[in-house]
A and B are shown apart, each in its own frame.
Chain A
Amino acid sequence: MEILRFENITKRYGQNTVLDHVSLSVNEGEVFSLLGPSGCGKTTLLRICGGFEPPDEGRVILDGVDITDMPANRRAIRTVFQNYALFPHMNVWDNVAFGLKATGISQKKIEEDVPKYLDLVQLTDYAARKPGQLSGGQRQRVAIARALITKPKVLLLDEPLAALDLKLRQRMLIELDTLHDDVGITFIFVTHDQQEAMSISDHIAVLRNGEIEQIGTPPELYEAPRTSFVAAFIGDTNFFEGKVSAINGDYCSLNIEDFPPLRLFNDKKVPVGRKVHISIRPEKFMISHVKPEKTDANTNLLQGKVEEVIYLGSHTRYWVRVQAWRISVIKQHCGYALDERSINWGDDVWLKFEADNAYMLDHYEENDENLLALPDL
């Protein structure tokens, strides 16, 4: 069920359009991420949602009610700020109790609720500490408890992990996930880190330059990116440009320069003669010394030379030169890697991928290739 909806939100600062007709819908109880590079408008969207900035156009609907003009303190929405914004002159207890006191909740109810929420974020022993005496992770938990105690319909989290170091970030991510399961409140999570977004979200909206590139579940975004930006921003990939030369039912033949004709799943129903861009994830390729058997018409084979090898324990990354193309390949080590014949720099290899594993893009921009992690060869 829908809890929050943005309708055609537009925001400009002078000549600069920060958000351009953004519409999206968030379901009750889910974790929804706004993902994008810095300057994409995700924080502005969050501030509009929290009531700190009015949109120039469009509406915000919370639980069926238009809250576009409602002041921040009357919205059933709470924010965990990036710097946590804890009140420095109050101890943890008073920080957590603030939202209740401010809205005139009785002292009895406050004394009842605060320990519950301190317990929820495991800070019972720290009730008397001032924010200055807490670690980064503890401060964040205070900020979360302080927001949750007022029982909001939606909790906004603005880059909540950005201020923490890597180890703590991973732990807090798991804690956030557990917390979300415990309280069942809708979380809207703003981040520029695709791994964070992928691991915690039910749905992700990828933003870029104030526009939504794509909304979907993490696997949808990964497996079926609509644009080259989404494909390159989330995970790693290979882009190819080719021309459709023939159509066989749901599949088509694609002519890519220097390659033998490849067979692809034609889910976009592209007609013969049209140029398309495709994205193939590195792990979709099978790499081997011996030529694999072509089991059916949907199997594609390419021959190339290994240019770079990076061994990473669970898997190895290869960059394979096929004529003018350099293809990024990941091989998972499912077996005992020491028993296998290792693939080394300079080896001639075969790449195999299935027709269903390539994805046609709606929109391609050459600049997006810069987002890919390519070695300088």
Chain B
Amino acid sequence: MKKSSFTNFFLGLPSFVWLVVFYAFPILIVLLLAFRPPDSNGGIGTGWTLQTLRELRNPSYPAIIWRTFWQGLVSTAVCIAVAVPISYQLSRTSSQKLRNTILLLIIVPFWTNFLIRIYAWRIFLHPEGAFKHLLVLIGVIPESTGLLYNQWAVLTVMIYTYIPFAVLPIYAISEKFDFSLMEAAKDLGASSFYAFRKIYLPGISKGIWTAVMVVLIPAFGAYLIPDLVGGSTSELIGDKIAQRVFVDRNLPHASALSALLMLGVFVPLILVSCLRKFQLKNQKKAEFMK
């Protein structure tokens, strides 16, 4: 026992060091910077202050925070709503060849640079673009409606970007799902939809949770997408942080915003995981009482 825990310690050491050096330290630095004053050259001043934190009460921030929050939630929800049926169909496809082809089609966009893909969207949604002209021609939208530079463009491109991140973890779990359980549910009188809800969804819940993590966190921090396809009215926190770093050269303020974002991501995550633990405990207790 002693020896194995000793070995485990050494085996785990490299990744532990990695995490400390490249994740814990930088986060700590960011958090500390939030309490330092900026200097006029775009560097860090001396001494400690709460001034940057007070500046977070900027009247334009609540709207931006709210937008970041709901856009993140909506894009995550849409990604999962799209990824679940795709994974369901994909894991029921008996032909291995067809399966691999579809998976490849989902992954192929990754081979193209992220920036290039966003620029492709800019061309696609451009006011003078073919898509816009087509929509106006068939009378879906009036000439005056812009497809680009608004929050809907941001949302669309965010969903487009994150769908594969949602599909892969859900498919990975769905592929191992025992579909004879769906047959058993129908055999017991359940409708297809009831079986899907009560048997399939709980069966792949692990994959859905992973998908929520891998979509929600980058969606909260997104800044390239709103920067390139959004307008002045569709800024997200990510944009503001970038602005404070590159334009204003105010690192402490950027750090304070980053800390706020991190809190905004981690607090709900910790709450959710506590809630799940609590639920499990309660369930066990209830089982015990029965």
Contact = CB atoms under 8 A, between A and B. Distances in A.
Contact of A102 (B183, B189, B202, B203): B189
B78 to A, nearest CB: 26
A128 B187 contact: no
Interface string A59-97: 000000000000111100111010101111101010000
Interface residues of A, number: 29
A363 B203 CA distance: 52
Given A78-B187, A98-B188, A102-B198, 5 more contacts: A83-B180, A88-B181, A98-B190, A98-B198, A129-B287
A85 B290 contact: no
Contact of B187 (A79, A91, A93, A127): A79
B126 interface: no
A99 B180 contact: no
B178 interface: yes
A51 B288 CA distance: 38
A102 B287 contact: no
Given A91-B287, A128-B287, A103 B180 contact: no
A102 B194 contact: yes
Contact of A52 (B183, B185, B199, B202): B183
Sorted from nearest, which 4 A-B pairs have the closest CB atoms? Answer: A128-B287, A102-B190, A99-B188, A85-B184
B202 A89 contact: yes
Contacts of A79: 184, 187
Interface in B160-197: 178, 180-181, 183-192, 194-195
B174 to A, nearest CB: 15
Interface residues of B, number: 23
Main secondary structure, interface of B, reads helix
Contacts of B202: 89
A153 interface: no
A72 B288 contact: no
B181 A103 contact: no
A103 B189 contact: yes
A238 B27 CA distance: 85
A305 interface: no
21 contacts: A51-B186, A72-B187, A73-B191, A74-B189, A78-B188, A83-B180, A85-B178, A85-B184, A87-B184, A87-B185, A93-B290, A98-B198, A99-B188, A99-B189, A102-B190, A102-B194, A128-B288, A129-B287, A146-B188, A147-B187, A147-B188
